[in-house]
Amino acid sequence: MGECMVELRTDEYSATSLHQSFAGDVYNSAVYLKRCFDDVFVGFVTVTGDDTFSHRMRKGFESESLDTSMVFTHPTRATGLYLIDTDDDGERSFTYWRSESAAKTIVSFLNVDVLNSLTSNDMFMFSGISIAIIPPDERVPFFNFIKALKNKGVKLVFDPNYRARLWTSLADAKANFEQALSLSDIALVGVEDMGELFGLASSDDVMELCQSHSVDEVVIKNGPSSVLTSLNGKYEEHVITPVSKVVDTTSAGDAFNGVYLGGRLQNLPISHCVSMAAKAAGTVIQHRGAIIPKGVVEATLEGVHKSTLASDLTT
């Protein structure tokens, strides 16, 4: 569940031209999950408008083979929009136009019928951005909704993805993130985000915070250096081979999340899932934009899947 927006980015050949696509953190993860694990049912929960961009966006969801039965329509609001710029090192900066985004009204659509429909799923993923865009007075019913999902046996997956500009205060963000962690079965966490929000300096500090909230499965991403995981108290550190040429870091963590969850839904070992997810993220950052052309990540993972699985079986 999250927000998909109109993405504009400068053309690599012309500073006066813009390339338009659609993207959003949880949406990106859903796309890469479905592309790399086609037999997994993946749906997206959001609200769009009734404008031209919204209609194109819905067609985009369908072209990625995502279930759209939980894509709702707001009669007067439109989709949000952002402009992305990247520097010579691939680091990005954003300018947003989302104050009246239709996705902000999602809680008004989360009724009993939606709850009952979603209970047939294995996992429900949301992020810090998913929470941040919800009006403060609607966050209590949102958390009640996902508590009900959890009580029905659906695993809750949380990616903190902290964006300071979306929150009224640091204290407000902390309180909501800690509540989300206390409900989560799986946490997909970046050290940078948690460092900015909680003042944590290392993967071990982040792990301690997540485990203090009794999260069963924790994946801590520390940039290109390593990934630390914990499943039912078993720790593993996974070394990551950095990518030599970074073009655009947009959506690296989202691609990692989608591929990791796809692997876990296939009951693959954690080490295998991390290897594939890291390779997917490393592939995405060598291309421009959040959603790269179809077939690129999938082709990269074919070899990783076979070699990693052979290693796991040998071990």
Question: So which residues are the catalytic ones?
Answer: 254
DSSP assignment string, the chain: ----EEEEEE-SS-TT-EEEEEE-HHHHHHHHHHHH-TTS--B--EEE-SSHHHHHHHHHHHHTT-B-TTEEE-SS-B--EEEEEE-TTS-EEEEEE-TTBGGGGGGGG--HHHHHHHTTSSEEEEEHHHHHTS-GGGHHHHHHHHHHHHHTTPEEEEE----GGGSS-HHHHHHHHHHHHHH-SEEEEEHHHHHHHH---SHHHHHHHHHHTT-SEEEEEETTTEEEEEETTEEEEEE-PPPS--S--TTHHHHHHHHHHHHHHTT--HHHHHHHHHHHHHHHTTSSSSSPPTTHHHHHHHHHHHHHHHHHHH-
Counting beta carbons within 10 angstroms of the beta carbon of residue 302, is it exposed (0 to 12), middle (13 to 18) or buried (19 or more)?
exposed
Q: Count CB atoms within 10 A of the CB of residue 299.
A: 10
| Neighbouring-strand partners of residue 212 | none
